[in-house]
Amino acid sequence: MGSATEYLMQFNSDLNAGLSSGVTFELVTAPEEEPLTLTQIKDNLRLRHNRFDELLTRILPEARQWIEMATGQMFIEQTWRQIHNGTGSLLVGLGRSALPFSRASNIVNLHLEKARSIVSVKVWPTMQSTSMTTIDSDDYFLSGQSLIPRTTWPSTRGVGGFEVEYKVGHGLDAANFASAGMALPLRRALDFLVAYMFENPGDNTSFEATTAGRSSLRLLPPEAMQLLEPYIRYEL
């Protein structure tokens, strides 16, 4: 399978095509642990020796990242930056743009789940700006997956003018994730994908070879795909 960078590039491409143009994502802080332990993986594979421990330790984060990139569902708490462009139809001045969200409310949809808290919201006011302006935290609030301004957002430049950094994940840690409502289908899908990657190492290149198209999701093991399908929010 491809690297985390390749997954992120494909995730940006697919999510932009299926959800909203002009939105990109940057990983700021990776999760501190994985949702499954090595012991849990080996129990699932019925392994009673340590011969493949190093391989399994490498496969687990790759499988987890692949599922996260495919669905936008983040397992363990991590920090991401979501960057929005302006839209030509909402231009308010040369090189400046209103935000490309709901024209009535300017609500920002946070595409990665589960949003836990907002770290910061920043804007580039104009194309000539040399630094970003941080919006006071009293001027907005988080409601579910929506970032809502208490009045309205300021105008920004048209390219990458608005950035929201937020903590996201269905669990604070592995133990907390295990008790989360969505934990079972996500964990089972991860079990299936880890097992598939372990048992079919020669097939892993097929995942990498198709990352240029959204059809790559169809290469998931059928058991994993069935579990993840409700969480895939864009057209394959």
Residue with the bigger pLDDT between 221 and 205: it is 221
Residue 152 has what pLDDT?
Answer: 87
Q: How confident is the model at residue 46 (pLDDT cuts 50, 70, 90)?
A: very high
123's enclosing H/E stretch is strand 115-123
Tens digits of residue pLDDT in 71-116: 889 999 999 999 988 533 333 333 334 444 554 458 899 999 999 9
Residue 177 has what pLDDT?
Answer: 81
Residue 179 has what pLDDT?
Answer: 76
Task: Report the length, in residues, of the chain.
Answer: 236
In angstroms, the CA 73 to CA 31 distance is 13
Tens digits of residue pLDDT in 151-210: 888 888 888 899 999 999 998 888 888 777 666 888 889 999 999 999 887 655 444 433
In angstroms, the CA 135 to CA 121 distance is 6
Task: Choose the weakest-confidence range: 3-7, 68-72, 91-95, 124-128.
Answer: 91-95
Residue 211 has what pLDDT?
Answer: 39
pTM over 0.95? The answer is no
Instruction: Report the phi/psi class of residue 139: left, alpha or beta, with left for phi > 0 and alpha for psi in -120 to 50.
Output: alpha
Residue 9 has what pLDDT?
Answer: 52
Across all residues in the chain, what is the average pLDDT? 78
Q: Is residue 15 pLDDT above 70, yes or no?
A: no
* Cα diameter, the chain: 66
Residue 101 has what pLDDT?
Answer: 53
Residue 66 has what pLDDT?
Answer: 86
In angstroms, the CA 86 to CA 91 distance is 8
Residue 96 has what pLDDT?
Answer: 39
In angstroms, the CA 236 to CA 232 distance is 9
Residue 219 has what pLDDT?
Answer: 63
Under DSSP, the state recorded for 119 is E
Residue 234 has what pLDDT?
Answer: 52
% of the chain at pLDDT higher than 70: 72
Residue with the bigger pLDDT between 32 and 223: it is 32
